[in-house]
A and B are shown apart, each in its own frame.
Chain A
Amino acid sequence: MTFAVVAEGLRKRYGDTWAVEGFDLAVPEGTVCGLLGPNGAGKTTVVRMLTTLLRPDGGCAAVAGHDVVRQAAQVRSRMGLVGQNAAVDEILSARQNLVMFGRLSHLGLARARSRAEELIERFDLAETGGKPVKQFSGGMRRRLDLAVSMILSPPVLFLDEPTAGLDPRGRNEVWEAVRALVATGCTALLTTQYLEEADQLADRISIMDTGKVIAEGTPGELKSALGGDRVEVVLHDAADLPAAAGLVERATGTEPSLDPDTRRVGAPVREKAAALAELARLLEAAGLAVEDIGVRRPTLDEVFLHLTGDARDPHKEVAA
């Protein structure tokens, strides 16, 4: 198997603290790797090192077969970067941006112009006309960002939180565009705080916390690692949570977890049908108002919380 992105023992220090400490990664060609972690986990620092913007303090990394420090120039002509690290020009229009970046990619003026037209068509940017980027919606802007990074059709694409700050519609637009790119055979490394995004787009996921990878696998593998199926109850009234928790424990024989915000009680189960039937009977007998009850596989959220410690709620990090 050939790897499009390889990192071994990558390290970066800011002052006295190691932002990244011993980061390892291997992304096979033609796949999407999701790099998942809370704010401050070191995801952006990793992307900056892999895209030659930041010099590592230790370890080594290669992108498209070229060392990111010693062959930085070769790396730059083989990768695209999208997201918080690389902006487009806000004063210029979509077309002006694409032509400028095309010329800076040494396509020559005529080729840069025709490439700009192709990309405007492909990323559905014609409606933006001559408007400056400053007036674009979040989704349009990110589509232009993607288009710019695709000028040279690079074999490797880095997407650093490509949907951060977008509304659901913008997020869907970007997801569609990313899926279309990956379908052309490009390798992508995607960082995100949104577990759903990694679940949607990535073939394999590396979960990162405090500067290193703490778990790695396909979304399915990571979910199974947490212990298979769970039974879950959503209550009508949060005041019933403690009572319901007692019943869930009786039905499953394991200690349940509570989420007051969503009025949810859940616990891992082995005999799912029996446990579910037993729990339904107990709830009915106790007269608790239930909004939803069911058996399901754990979400990546749970995998994430399990691995990074419950104190670190990714949703709270996102809101902060």
Chain B
Amino acid sequence: MTPGTAEVPYDPITRLRWAVADCWTMTLRILAHWARRPGQVAVGLLFPVMIVLMFGYLFGGGMAVPGGGDYREYLMPGMFAISMLFGIETTFTAVAADAAKGVTDRFRSMPVARSAVVAGRCVADMLNAALGLAVLILCGLAVGWRWHDGWGRSAAAIGLLLLLRLAFLWVGIHLGLVVGSPDAVVAVQILVWPVGFLSNAFVWTDTMPGWLAAVAEWNPLAATVTATRELFGNPTGGGSWIAGHATLMAVVWPLALIAVFFPLAVRRYARLDR
């Protein structure tokens, strides 16, 4: 009858094993959520596809690629990065909902490794991002986008995109823990859209007024967009310093975001007992 108490281990090896096991259980929980709500997952995956079709065919006719070229070739790397940005909403909503409904408190009241709650979210959301990216790449191939510079450079581009998602993940976790109410996702959306549009994801910064172009180019998203365009061999643009160091900045920006938001999120989680 009695299942025996799970005594908290003192030795670091067992503790680490517990932490990994708990993280995996948390990940499985989120995967089970997907399996139970395939519709919601599908909407999340197909929404960026809809935007591709909208921009590619609806607005795309009015876009002229500098140096001639297909707008959809230009658009796709922008969309890849934008879909990483949209991930903030997924992370935010899930973290805030768990906090608001008391699920986070249930975990905190159990002998669960402290890191596992957040780490499980991290693993699951990165899987979700990879899946979303795969769908979007297939969509790109269907609308005529190609990578031109081989597998190696393409893999590097995908790596940069996932790094960006990892950075936004910690932004989402931090905001979700601070706000603690999934309804506030509207506010996050209001934040996400201007950040997405005020970049080079859809249009050339050359067409913007000088000051706006500068803001758009220094947008963390823009560095990843330019870098992936270069790595995939798609049309790119802009001759500013930051555009010239896009690959460097596509590493620096996400690392900087992680350096700020990872400790903030961890601190916030540790201080839920205040």
Contacts and interface: CB of A to CB of B under 8 A. Distances in A.
Nearest to A100: B29
Contact of A91 (B3, B36, B106): B36
B110 A89 contact: no
A87 B101 contact: yes
A81 B2 CA distance: 18
B268 to A, nearest CB: 15
Contacts, number: 95
A29 B7 CA distance: 20
Secondary structure call for the B interface:
helix
Contact of B36 (A76, A78, A88, A92): A92
Interface in B79-110: 101-103, 105-110
Contacts of B8: 73-74, 76-77
Nearest to A101: B110
Contact of B33 (A86, A92, A115, A153): A92
B207 interface: no
B21 A103 contact: yes
A77 B111 contact: yes
Given A74-B8, A77-B111, A152-B5, A53 B105 contact: yes
B6 A106 contact: yes
Interface residues of A, number: 38
Contacts of B101: 87, 90
A77 B2 contact: no
Contacts of A84: 102
Nearest to B28: A100
Contacts of A55: 273-274
Given A115-B3, A152-B6, A105 B110 contact: yes
Contact of B109 (A85, A106, A151, A153): A85
B99 to A, nearest CB: 10
Nearest to B271: A55
B22 interface: yes
